[in-house]
A and B are shown apart, each in its own frame.
Chain A
Amino acid sequence: MAGVLVFGEIIEGKLAAVSTEALGIGRKLADSLGQELAAVIIGSGIGNVANQAISFGANKVYVIDNAMFANYTNDGFVGAMEKLNAKVAPEIILMGQSSVGMDLSPRLAFRLGTATVLDCVNLTIENGKLQKTKPVYGGNAQAVYVSETKPQMATIRAKAFEPNGPDTSRSGEIINFDPGLDASAIRQKVVGRVKEEAEGIKLEDAQLVVCGGRGMGSAEAFGVLYDLAKVLNGAVGASRPPCDSGWVPANLQIGLTGKMVGPTVYIGVALSGSSQHQSGMSGSKNIIAINKDPEANIFGIAHYGVVGDYKKVVPAFKTKCKELLGK
């Protein structure tokens, strides 16, 4: 067994950001093992994604391209990965902790008689073995795991690792692979898909996130955060209570059971900064907190803070931002 294999997830015809991050850490692990980094992409009409995987550091890309893989299905993708594993026999298989990765990785691990560790935030090689660190107890602690069985598998948390690229001068080998699956063996049939779009900039892609918490108090109160996000060209998010209370849509939730964000600037307003929320935003490069409680946990990880009532602080902050930015 040799090499690191990264499952490259495809979103709207492109390699998913978390997969580029998996290739980034995969490259490091492969280098410390002195082995190759390979990627696999599975889908229908996906040939151009192979070059993206190479530009992010893959030496080899296995392409599994067939109409039966147009939609992600557990049976289809587990079956394809099982066949590819038999051919490639990788030492390590990595993928993103996404709705696909958290569905695919566990079942594949059981199929292959090995184990996976989900949602890893650190991966290192110690004595030739993969050590996998993941947050546990709601993000309050971290646990380190090692597996005796091969391949060693893990999913990685979004934004926890840096991509290595893209560098289009890189070259690599593209190999078409036919897993020889029968479409009738895929028991899940995807019959429809509904997109629930949030307005404005996508939360996960925003370079600046304005996030409101329980202290906002109402749906109307979020108006000032939307205005602020507009001025700063950012997106609005929320901790869990505003979502549970219906003040904002559930898909704005940042945290352990919501989205993972890692913007350049995160502004947390009237939220305490529970460990569950921190799980979703602690990768932010610069954290700014506005809260009337000087003991709020969020100040423990913030770089800049204002202690005060957001109803007074935020409008003045927004007005000054507008003035400074000439808007």
Chain B
Amino acid sequence: MTEGKVVEQKIVEPEYLFFEAKREPRFITGSEAVREAIKRANVDLAISYPITPQSESMHLVGYIYAQGYLKDYYRGEDELGVMSAVAGASMGGVRVFTATGGPGTLRAFEMFPTWAGARLPIVCAFFCRGINSPLTIQPDTIEIGFMLDTGMLIFHVETAQDLFDMLLKAFIIAEEPDVHLPIGVFADGFFITHTRELVEIPPEDIKLPPYDPYKSPMPVMDMETPPVRQMRDPFVMKSNFISYAAHASWQQEVRAAGERARKHINKYLGGLLETENEDADILIIASGTAVSQSREAIIRANREGISVGLVKVKVLRPFPCQEIKTITRKAKVIIIPEFNIIGWLAREVSSVIEDNSRVVGAPRVFGGMTMPPELILDEIKKQRFLLANK
């Protein structure tokens, strides 16, 4: 796998790579889609640490390093070490990539608000799995619930195609000077990483422009070049109002940067969500692979003469508050199927819509269970019956 020469790559505009370059279908896994995205992302450095179901993706990134697509690559000592090391590299002004998932996410957790607070445009793929004891390696999206308030931008993919596209676009959105925040691209472990699907990908002889660290909203730690030969001193070591006020303004600025990302997300991802048949009385709101299961359930519901709308939430941070508030105005019931026990998406939706008694946080599966479309269809029928007999 390490043989093969690197293809001579030409730098192209992001818009060309994303929207114009001719694409060919490839029958690949989600992990292989990561490899193909990173090949074209002009990444300087990737650091890996294995954890199922992420291991294969960073293993494949190691192969393309051997082929010359990256300048450096190594295995860290653990997830906290990896996330700390990529932070250092990013402060030093290079484009970095890493991936983790499940317990690895939680082991590294301290670094995620640190990345955001330091305005580091790191792109990290998260392949979700269960995190609790007794140990499970199986799919479960509970870790996304923990990540929502780290200050990072959070994307959630439905398919390997989404994973390929969102990873590449994440670099460009993250590095916008007014955003300059880390982006987590989340995929449901195994369902995405280990299954094959057709993914349309552009040629491998083109890649993104390099990261320009001198457009960063903070000084890049280039020790050779003034005016940036200065460390990012913390101001928080004093107990006085001025320090508290500065820290408060700093936190607000990190959240403000997330708000600014909306414009760029709209440009590159075509919006924070996608909708189908949104005027239906029964609306499903979902993210990740729960969207695919919902699509299948809706097809079956339509066959039985039941009209159901679908909202696919692609971006969880910033959250599409206004969009969801507007879209749900007419809905009589809002079904939110999730692959976790806590129902973080139902909680998010409930917090932004008018009359959240319409939210049905079901069905929910977790611990590795699959979500058969019949489960969602049963919920649709149940809610339709309740509406009819109200």
A and B are partners in one complex rather than unrelated chains: no
List B residues at the A interface (Cβ < 8 Å): none
